[in-house]
Chains A and B, each alone.
Chain A
Amino acid sequence: MNAPVHITLTGLIVALVIAFAIGSTIWWMLHPPASFVQKLAAQAESEFERLVGSIMVVFSQDIESGHMMALAAKLARGERSELLAIYVIEVPFTLPPDAEMTAEERTALDALGAAETIAVKNGVNIRTEIVRARVTSQSVLDLAKREKANLIILGSFREGKYTGAPLGRAIETIAANAKCDVLIGVEGKHGTLLVDEFGQAAAPGGNEDRQPNV
């Protein structure tokens, strides 16, 4: 036969003190003060969260951003950011603003279609937009302001890739005047950028027969 239960005020107080003391001790232990290095890391992380709140990926006749789209999608997925892909069709001053530019529009649809595919594959919601403008850089800056973009992602200059020359006028203007952060992705040459100690391009098969450049 069980004994009767006795709830006393002392017992109640002690029980509460035990539960509170153990709980608060463990909580306190698990929250040590941050070190200087950890504060730096936290600051960088909060900067990053601010950086990728809203991402705008820019395509145009001069700007090849296909290779950056996957990166943008992964960033947006990780941080649950808004993703906007725009294609700017530059209309020459010699044509009226609504001039028919079938080939350019077709290219734009292809680029944005590919962007949508990448976004869907990464489980990210994406908005796409084709913009007609006289000057690509200015239209990108205006759009970034309208959309309150935190980050503009650009690829490299379409024609020459990266050869040590400037990135291209449009990209440089955007980078210089944007009120938000700009990420420029210069597509590498996939292994051929590296040169060995003799100034020769590194290639499979060894370099036993190569002579130093003198």
Chain B
Amino acid sequence: MPEKKKPELRRSVTPWGSFAWGYSDVGADIFVGLGLVLGAAAGASNVAFLFAGVVYVCIGLAYTELAATYPVAGGGQYFVMRGLGDIFGFIAGWAVLLDFTIDITLFAWACVDYLSQLLPALNTTANPWPHFIVALALVLGLLSLNIIGVRESTAFNGVVSALDIVSETTILTLGFLFAFRPEILIHTMQTSWPSSNDLMLGISLAIVSFVGLESISQAAQETQRPASVIPRTSVALILTILIFALSYSNLALGMQPWHPIPLDAHGHTQALWHWLGNGDNNGKAVALLAQQVPYFGAVAAFYVPVLGAILLLISSNSGVFGSSRIAYAMSSAKLLPSAFQRVHPKFRTPMVSLVAFVGVSVIELFFAALPSLDPAASALYARWFNGESGLGFLADLYAFGAATSYSFVFIALVALRLFDPLSPRKFKMPFNIPVTVRGERAEFPLVAVVGFAGIFAILLFTLKTHPIGRIAGPAWLVVGIIIYLLYRRNKRLPILGSQRHDWRTQQAEILRNAGELELMDEYLANLKASDERRAQAAAAP
């Protein structure tokens, strides 16, 4: 009887679709990150973005190489599981899950902030309850839509991404052309340089502007010719986001505003960057900056908040389905209980995953909003958490989750380079040292070491400067590890070790399913040559 073949997902995501998939996640980050970094790193915001940007480039290159070499759903969790084993794969995946749950809340929160630019009743400082209720409604609305199975259209994502890129390029181009004054930039950097603690805080928040590359690798399994397309879309995404982040931060520090900046709470004049970074405005900094661009600002004041809100809502939604997808992948890999694979009998959607992780995001939203809703809680936060709340609270955890998972991804990349040198790599990180491991020629990636050093530094900055991230982040990991250990013990699976995997057969199948037939031929030829070499070595006296 012929073997029944499992139906495969049709590869329908085009290069632009793949880019838009990532952009709708990462592209929204700057809408949140700009204000937060300006508030923390002040005159060194551009330096904070540069530091995080360099690390981000390394992360991007690592993800590009891994997603092109192993084009499967699962992203960082899969790479780490394959490179370092099941338990580390679980930790990386669990940290990514934290990020996805934060993603849901953070972007829903920021979406309301951008809407408040046009609807002042939603302002978080003046009206915390309406702000909280609308953000909660958005999160629950997205949950309902995802349970029912109403999917956002890839075409819609593509159109919003295209509009946003054109819009942001216009804001920056006209901003630099009409309002940028280098002497203001230099003066701001000289007079408003932050303390080293604030700079570390700024850097750890700046990484928030670059989180979401996971999305492209998650989409790898549905992308046409992933080994060729993913490197291009990833590199394009890295460059686009990097250009935007560096340009925005420099423009904010060196811009001559078109309209007068309102006085601060004490009646003093304040600089543009200071105004953008304060607690009232840090959630909608891009819209306020766009408003200050000469001539164009009059138009931008109306549409940028709307465009930003839409992009942020899409990003929030990517957190909803991203968390359920990764939970499903982890459950398939026997890293999480099979309940996370269970689908709703009517809607055929992974309801348990959706409810569980959106539930976590609702709890996060509650804790983020609590100080603004209750004065007693505000005093408590002021005493124990340096008064962090709202966006700062969420960004804390976001930075922790990202830094943890990315650290593991770098180590996994090195391990895979050394122990799986036969898999063809259509894209490789530059600057490699040739080495021989177990009789096979491999290349040691220097950039991965630089990237790891950078992201590990950011992880340390996060632990040092974020009182909430320092407690809640590791607590999340500890809870996850307990769940993992109990599950593996219950299922009689290796608790600290890994299950047996036939990576050779799996890799050939992955490449065949990806339509990368030339790479599959190359891989099989590499295996054959390696086997022959080993046989000769064994036969030699």
Stretch of B5-13, B203-211, B226-234 at the chain-chain interface: B226-234
Stretch of B167-175, B366-374, B386-394, B479-487 at the chain-chain interface: B167-175
Stretch of B78-86, B92-100, B251-259, B531-539 at the chain-chain interface: B251-259
The verdict on B243 contacting chain A, using a C-beta distance below 8 Å, is yes
The reply to whether B243 and A2 contact each other, CB–CB distance below 8 Å, is no
Q: How far, in angstroms, from A125 to B59 measured CA to CA in the complex?
A: 58
The reply to whether B180 and A10 contact each other, CB–CB distance below 8 Å, is yes
With both beta carbons as reference points, the residue of chain B lying nearest to A11 in the complex is identified as B180
Chain A interface size band reads 20 to 34
The reply to whether B174 and A8 contact each other, CB–CB distance below 8 Å, is no
The reply to whether B178 and A21 contact each other, CB–CB distance below 8 Å, is no
The verdict on B380 contacting chain A, using a C-beta distance below 8 Å, is no
B294 → chain A closest CB, angstroms: 5
Q: Mark B173-186, 1 if CB is under 8 A from A, else 0.
A: 11111111110000
Q: How far, in angstroms, from A11 to B180 measured CA to CA in the complex?
A: 6
Stretch of A32-40, A66-74, A128-136 at the chain-chain interface: A32-40
Q: How far, in angstroms, from A5 to B292 measured CA to CA in the complex?
A: 11
With both beta carbons as reference points, the residue of chain A lying nearest to B292 in the complex is identified as A3
The reply to whether B169 and A18 contact each other, CB–CB distance below 8 Å, is yes
Task: Answer whether A32 and B165 are a contact pair too, CB < 8 Å, given A3-B256, A14-B247, A15-B177.
Answer: no
The reply to whether A33 and B228 contact each other, CB–CB distance below 8 Å, is yes
Q: How far, in angstroms, from A2 to B19 measured CA to CA in the complex?
A: 38
A208 → chain B closest CB, angstroms: 26
The verdict on A26 contacting chain B, using a C-beta distance below 8 Å, is yes
Name the contact of A29 in the complex, choosing from B173, B233, B256, B517 (C-beta under 8 A).
Answer: B233
Q: How far, in angstroms, from A88 to B52 measured CA to CA in the complex?
A: 78
The verdict on B15 contacting chain A, using a C-beta distance below 8 Å, is yes
The reply to whether B177 and A21 contact each other, CB–CB distance below 8 Å, is no
The reply to whether B517 and A3 contact each other, CB–CB distance below 8 Å, is no
The verdict on A6 contacting chain B, using a C-beta distance below 8 Å, is yes
The reply to whether B258 and A2 contact each other, CB–CB distance below 8 Å, is yes
The verdict on A192 contacting chain B, using a C-beta distance below 8 Å, is no
The reply to whether B169 and A37 contact each other, CB–CB distance below 8 Å, is no
With both beta carbons as reference points, the residue of chain A lying nearest to B257 in the complex is identified as A3
The reply to whether A22 and B169 contact each other, CB–CB distance below 8 Å, is yes
Q: How far, in angstroms, from A8 to B183 measured CA to CA in the complex?
A: 11
Q: How far, in angstroms, from A25 to B250 measured CA to CA in the complex?
A: 21
Name the contact of A19 in the complex, choosing from B173, B225, B257, B518 (C-beta under 8 A).
Answer: B173
Q: Mark A96-108, 1 if CB is under 8 A from B, else 0.
A: 0000000000000
Question: Could you tell me which residues of chain B, from 220 to 265, have a CB within 8 Å of some CB in chain A?
Answer: 225, 228-229, 232-233, 235-236, 239-240, 243, 247, 250, 256-260
Q: How far, in angstroms, from A15 to B12 measured CA to CA in the complex?
A: 36
Name the contact of A10 in the complex, choosing from B182, B256, B518 (C-beta under 8 A).
Answer: B182
B177 → chain A closest CB, angstroms: 4
A110 → chain B closest CB, angstroms: 48
Residues of A within 8 A of B515 (CB): 37
Q: Mark A102-122, 1 if CB is under 8 A from B, else 0.
A: 000000000000000000000
Question: Could you tell me which residues of chain B, from 376 to 396, have a CB within 8 Å of some CB in chain A?
Answer: none
The verdict on A30 contacting chain B, using a C-beta distance below 8 Å, is yes
The verdict on B16 contacting chain A, using a C-beta distance below 8 Å, is yes
The reply to whether B260 and A1 contact each other, CB–CB distance below 8 Å, is yes
A10 → chain B closest CB, angstroms: 5
The reply to whether A37 and B517 contact each other, CB–CB distance below 8 Å, is yes
The reply to whether A8 and B181 contact each other, CB–CB distance below 8 Å, is yes
Residues of A within 8 A of B169 (CB): 18-19, 22-23
Task: Answer whether A15 and B228 are a contact pair too, CB < 8 Å, given A2-B294, A29-B235.
Answer: no
Candidate in A5, A8, A12 with the most chain B CB atoms within 10 angstroms: A8
The verdict on A176 contacting chain B, using a C-beta distance below 8 Å, is no
Q: How far, in angstroms, from A5 to B165 measured CA to CA in the complex?
A: 25
The verdict on A28 contacting chain B, using a C-beta distance below 8 Å, is yes
The reply to whether A22 and B233 contact each other, CB–CB distance below 8 Å, is no
Name the contact of B172 in the complex, choosing from A18, A28, A29 (C-beta under 8 A).
Answer: A18
Q: How far, in angstroms, from A164 to B250 measured CA to CA in the complex?
A: 79
Residues of B within 8 A of A23 (CB): 169
The reply to whether B180 and A29 contact each other, CB–CB distance below 8 Å, is no
The reply to whether A3 and B258 contact each other, CB–CB distance below 8 Å, is yes
Task: Answer whether A29 and B243 are a contact pair too, CB < 8 Å, given A11-B176, A15-B173.
Answer: no
The reply to whether B15 and A30 contact each other, CB–CB distance below 8 Å, is yes
A141 → chain B closest CB, angstroms: 42
The verdict on A193 contacting chain B, using a C-beta distance below 8 Å, is no
Name the contact of A8 in the complex, choosing from B182, B229, B239 (C-beta under 8 A).
Answer: B182
Candidate in A18, A30, A32 with the most chain B CB atoms within 10 angstroms: A18
The reply to whether B165 and A12 contact each other, CB–CB distance below 8 Å, is no
Q: How far, in angstroms, from A208 to B177 measured CA to CA in the complex?
A: 83
Name the contact of B177 in the complex, choosing from A2, A7, A25, A32 (C-beta under 8 A).
Answer: A7
A14 → chain B closest CB, angstroms: 4
Residues of B within 8 A of A16 (CB): 173
Q: Mark A22-55, 1 if CB is under 8 A from B, else 0.
A: 1101101110110111000000000000000000
Name the contact of A36 in the complex, choosing from B177, B178, B257, B518 (C-beta under 8 A).
Answer: B518
A109 → chain B closest CB, angstroms: 51
Q: How far, in angstroms, from A22 to B27 measured CA to CA in the complex?
A: 13
Q: How far, in angstroms, from A132 to B233 measured CA to CA in the complex?
A: 62
Task: Answer whether A32 and B176 are a contact pair too, CB < 8 Å, given A5-B294, A22-B169, A26-B240.
Answer: no
A51 → chain B closest CB, angstroms: 27
The reply to whether B232 and A26 contact each other, CB–CB distance below 8 Å, is no
Task: Answer whether A22 and B517 are a contact pair too, CB < 8 Å, given A10-B180, A15-B177, A28-B232.
Answer: no
Q: Mark B445-456, 1 if CB is under 8 A from A, else 0.
A: 000000000000
A1 → chain B closest CB, angstroms: 7
Question: Could you tell me which residues of chain B, from 178 to 217, have a CB within 8 Å of some CB in chain A?
Answer: 178-182
A169 → chain B closest CB, angstroms: 45
Task: Answer whether A29 and B232 are a contact pair too, CB < 8 Å, given A14-B247, A18-B172, A22-B169.
Answer: yes
B532 → chain A closest CB, angstroms: 26
Closest 5 pairs (CB-CB, A-B): A29-B236, A11-B180, A15-B176, A15-B177, A14-B176
- Name B's A-contacting residues (CB within 8 A): 15-16, 19, 165, 169, 172-182, 225, 228-229, 232-233, 235-236, 239-240, 243, 247, 250, 256-260, 294, 515, 517-518
Extra contacts, 10 of them, besides A25-B243, A36-B518 (Cβ < 8 A), are A2-B258, A7-B177, A11-B178, A16-B173, A18-B176, A19-B169, A23-B169, A25-B239, A25-B240, A29-B232
What are 30 A-B interface contacts by the 8 Å CB criterion? A2-B258, A2-B259, A2-B294, A3-B179, A3-B256, A3-B257, A5-B179, A6-B179, A6-B256, A7-B178, A8-B180, A10-B180, A10-B182, A11-B182, A14-B176, A14-B180, A15-B177, A15-B180, A16-B173, A19-B169, A19-B173, A22-B169, A25-B239, A25-B240, A26-B236, A28-B236, A29-B16, A29-B235, A29-B236, A32-B15
